């Protein structure tokens, strides 16, 4: 927080908890204000919507060897995740799918009239489908396969569609390294999961490349999520800033905006 | 039916081969990747090609191979099998083609009846969409579509789910044990409530309209 210009501002009565969905920390309504102890809000700022904050300003990421080791560890974590997901897909999931085919064949080879046997085969196949669905959910929490194959935009659209959240994603064809994409994806996922109610306006996500940086801005969520964003992008040497888009720029009420910049290939 | 198969998982490929043979289909070739399938089909004709989405060439060789195949063999039916039922892939598949095309979960074609029904419908020119995905799209529409979808009756929702699977009027009637006339009436009501054009007489255009509606963002329907 040494570099923060202003305090990280959280909704009153929220605290940091671990997300059951993604396994990452997030804010929730509760006992402990999460952002207490930050710098005081400067005089003249009527409310948090006018705060402009930098949790960690952009740095020369290769200057410090210790930082470099930390970023390597952070990147390794995401590569390991991607390998684990692939292992699930190519291993257990494929074997279970093949088992379902073998069961279907067995059901067909049973004596004509053995309806009870065929029904049991069908029930076993349904059970296999349920197990595979559970494996898919686990794989999504490790490293979503769609994120690996199609990138952050399609993966976030799928996430929003699954959760019934209105999310407007603007992205190009740019792809980034697995660590940057993983950190950015799970940051948005956790911020969305931390929202107790659906916001009145769609949440807007913009993703683009700025040299060797993945830049993602998240508009329409409280800026208290900045600390959560820092949790995700910090280990990769990323930075987080928050701002408010004035009404005259957006033709809507003033909108909070969290922007993360993550070093990437 | 002459079937070509491309799947990089040997165990699943062998299981599917056994099932296809038991169903009485002619296997013209079974290969582990998209490039091999493309090469095979340049010399050996087939009615339907079955492709794993996530196979070589990475990252989604099934889709890139299908685009190449559709360009040179426009009448070849395409069945995509995947471990995941994602609306992102569904939309990409429908960009490749809206006739003689299907997308199913791997473990859901595990019976001769289902596999043969899927292949027969694709060979006949239909779109076949994984019911799990069709159900998810109908049951969990994008938030701005919720009001319109919630205005549908239970029976209309049943019809919409089956439409999203790509079923024809007769197919829907058979599933719901009602007459085709009754299905037509339900479909007219659905299109009216969703504000969709009702002149899409071709069923594949109708399926496309429904899927696009359910998947599209605000103002894009």
Cα separation of A173 and A150, whole Å? Answer: 9
Q: Quick check: A146 contacting B, CB < 8 Å?
A: yes
pLDDT band at residue A61 under the 50/70/90 scheme: very low
State the pLDDT at residue B129.
Answer: 93
Residue at A9 is within a domain: no
Question: For residue A48, what is the DSSP state?
Answer: G
- Which residues, 6 or more positions from A137, have their beta carbon under 8 angstroms from its beta carbon? none
End-to-end CA distance of chain B: 38
In CATH terms, is domain B134-215 a member of 3.40.50.720?
no
Measured in degrees and rounded to the nearest 5, phi and psi for residue B82 equal -150, 160
Asked if residue A173 has pLDDT above 60, the reply is: yes
Residue at A114 is within a domain: yes
On whether both A153 and A232 belong to a single domain, the answer is yes
Cα separation of B82 and B105, whole Å? Answer: 5
Contact yes or no for B142 and A94 at CB 8 A? no
Query: What residues does each domain of chain B span?
Result: 2-129, 134-215
Beta strands in B23-84 (DSSP E): 26-31, 48-52, 77-82
Residue after which a domain boundary falls, among A144, A165, A180 = A144
Instruction: Name the residue in chain B with its Cα closest to that of A157.
Output: B88
What's chain A's length in residues? 265
On whether both A55 and A98 belong to a single domain, the answer is no
| Best B82, B111, B213 residue to mutate vs chain A (most A CBs within 10 Å) | B111
What whole-number percentage of chain B has pLDDT above 70?
92
Average pLDDT score over chain B: 89
State the pLDDT at residue A252.
Answer: 61
State the pLDDT at residue B202.
Answer: 64
Cα separation of A256 and A212, whole Å? Answer: 25
Taking CB atoms and an 8 Å cutoff, what residues of chain B touch A166? Answer: 142-144, 218
Cα separation of A211 and A200, whole Å? Answer: 34
Angle formed by the axes of helices B112-123 and B10-22, nearest 10°? 80
Cα separation of B7 and A175, whole Å? Answer: 26
Q: What ipTM, to 2 d.p.?
A: 0.76
CATH fold of the domain at B2-129: Rossmann fold (3.40.50)
- Which residues, 6 or more positions from B192, have their beta carbon under 8 angstroms from its beta carbon? B198
CB neighbour class for A37 (10 Å; exposed up to 12, middle 13-18, buried from 19): exposed
* Alpha carbon of A27: minimum distance to chain B alpha carbons (Å): 24
* Alpha carbon of A177: minimum distance to chain B alpha carbons (Å): 14
Contact yes or no for B9 and A90 at CB 8 A? yes
Contact yes or no for B18 and A109 at CB 8 A? no
SS3 B90: helix
In chain A, how many domains are there? 2
Taking CB atoms and an 8 Å cutoff, what residues of chain A touch B104? Answer: none
* Alpha carbon of B204: minimum distance to chain A alpha carbons (Å): 23
Average pLDDT score over chain A: 75
pLDDT band at residue B142 under the 50/70/90 scheme: low
Q: How far is CA A154 from CA A65, A235, B114, B139, B207, in A?
A: 35, 24, 30, 20, 22
pLDDT band at residue A248 under the 50/70/90 scheme: low
Contact yes or no for B86 and A100 at CB 8 A? no
What's chain B's length in residues? 221
Asked if residue B143 has pLDDT above 80, the reply is: no
Residue after which a domain boundary falls, among A144, A167, A192 = A144
B49-101 pLDDT, tens per residue? 999 999 999 888 999 999 999 999 999 999 999 999 998 999 899 899 989 99
Cα separation of A241 and A259, whole Å? Answer: 5
Residue at A5 is within a domain: no
Cα separation of A187 and A219, whole Å? Answer: 13
Partner residue opposite A94 with nearest CB, options B11, B111, B218: B11
- Which residues, 6 or more positions from A5, have their beta carbon under 8 angstroms from its beta carbon? A39, A52, A53, A54
Partner residue opposite B83 with nearest CB, options A97, A150, A157: A97
Min mean pLDDT across A21-30, A232-241, B140-149, B184-193 is at A21-30
Residue at A1 is within a domain: no
Partner residue opposite A148 with nearest CB, options B22, B59, B107: B59
Residue at A2 is within a domain: no
Question: Are the beta carbons of A15 and A34 closer than 8 angstroms?
Answer: yes
SS3 B202: coil
Question: For residue A174, what is the DSSP state?
Answer: -
Do domains B2-129 and B134-215 share one topology? The answer is yes
Which residues form the domain of A95? 85-144
Cα separation of B125 and B171, whole Å? Answer: 14
Cα separation of B211 and B25, whole Å? Answer: 31
Query: What is the Cα A247 distance to its own chain's centre?
Result: 28
A-B Cβ pairs (cutoff 8 Å, strict): 102
Find the radius of gyration of the CA atoms of chain A: 22
End-to-end CA distance of chain A: 27
Asked if residue A37 has pLDDT above 50, the reply is: no
On whether both A28 and A152 belong to a single domain, the answer is yes
SS3 A26: strand
Cα separation of B126 and A60, whole Å? Answer: 56
Residue at A3 is within a domain: no
What's A41's domain CATH number? 3.30.565.10
Question: For residue B45, what is the DSSP state?
Answer: -
Residue after which a domain boundary falls, among A110, A127, A144 = A144
Question: 């683009």: which residue's tokens?
Answer: A208
Asked if residue A67 has pLDDT above 70, the reply is: no
Between A7 and A20, whose confidence is greater? Answer: A20
On whether both A189 and A246 belong to a single domain, the answer is yes
Residue at A6 is within a domain: no
* Alpha carbon of A165: minimum distance to chain B alpha carbons (Å): 6
On whether both A110 and A157 belong to a single domain, the answer is no
Closest CA to A216 of A237, A241, A190: A241
Measured in degrees and rounded to the nearest 5, phi and psi for residue B181 equal -60, -45
């Amino acid at each position: 927080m040494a570099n923060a210009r202003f305090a990280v501002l959280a909704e009153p009565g929220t605290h940091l908890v671990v997300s059951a969905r993604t396994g990452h920390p997030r804010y929730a309504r509760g006992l402990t204000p999460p952002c207490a102890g930050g710098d005081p809000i400067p005089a003249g700022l009527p409310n948090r919507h006018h705060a402009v904050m930098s949790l960690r300003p952009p740095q020369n990421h290769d200057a410090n060897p210790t930082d470099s080791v930390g970023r390597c560890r952070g990147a390794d974590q995401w590569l390991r995740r991607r390998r684990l997901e692939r292992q699930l897909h190519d291993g257990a999931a494929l074997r279970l799918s093949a088992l379902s085919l073998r069961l279907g064949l067995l059901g067909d080879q049973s004596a004509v009239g053995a309806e009870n046997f065929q029904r049991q085969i069908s029930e076993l196949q349904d059970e296999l489908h349920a197990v595979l669905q559970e494996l898919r959910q686990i794989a999504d929490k490790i490293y979503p396969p769609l994120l690996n194959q199609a990138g952050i935009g399609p993966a976030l659209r799928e996430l929003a569609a699954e959760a019934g959240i209105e999310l407007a994603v603007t992205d190009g064809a740019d792809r980034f390294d697995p660590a940057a994409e993983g950190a950015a994806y799970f940051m948005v996922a956790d911020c969305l999961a931390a929202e107790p109610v659906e916001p009145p306006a769609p949440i807007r996500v913009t993703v683009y490349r700025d040299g060797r940086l993945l830049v993602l801005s998240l508009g329409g969520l409280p800026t208290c999520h900045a600390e959560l964003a820092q949790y995700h992008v910090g280990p990769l040497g990323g930075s987080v800033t928050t701002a408010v888009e004035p009404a005259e720029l957006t033709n809507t009420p003033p909108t909070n905006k969290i922007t993360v910049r993550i070093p990437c290939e | 039916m002459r079937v070509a198969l491309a799947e990089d998982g040997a165990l699943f490929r062998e299981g599917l081969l056994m099932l296809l043979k038991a169903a009485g289909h002619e296997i013209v070739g079974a290969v582990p990747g998209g490039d091999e399938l493309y090469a095979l089909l340049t010399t050996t004709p087939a009615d339907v090609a079955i492709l794993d989405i996530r196979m070589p060439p990475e990252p989604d060789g099934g889709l890139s191979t299908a685009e190449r195949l559709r360009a040179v063999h426009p009448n070849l039916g395409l069945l995509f099998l995947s471990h995941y039922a994602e609306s992102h892939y569904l939309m990409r598949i429908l960009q490749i083609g809206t006739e003689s095309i299907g997308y199913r979960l791997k473990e859901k074609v595990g019976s001769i009846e289902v596999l043969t029904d899927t292949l027969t419908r694709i060979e006949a020119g239909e779109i076949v969409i994984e019911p799990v995905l069709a159900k998810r799209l109908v049951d969990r529409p994008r938030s701005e579509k919720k009001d319109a979808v919630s205005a549908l009756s239970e029976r209309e929702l049943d019809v919409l789910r089956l439409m999203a699977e790509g079923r024809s009027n007769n197919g829907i009637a058979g599933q719901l044990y009602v007459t085709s006339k009754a299905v037509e009436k339900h479909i007219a009501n659905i299109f009216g409530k969703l504000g969709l054009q009702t002149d899409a007489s071709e069923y594949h255009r109708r399926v496309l309209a429904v899927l696009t509606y359910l998947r599209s963002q605000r103002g894009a329907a």
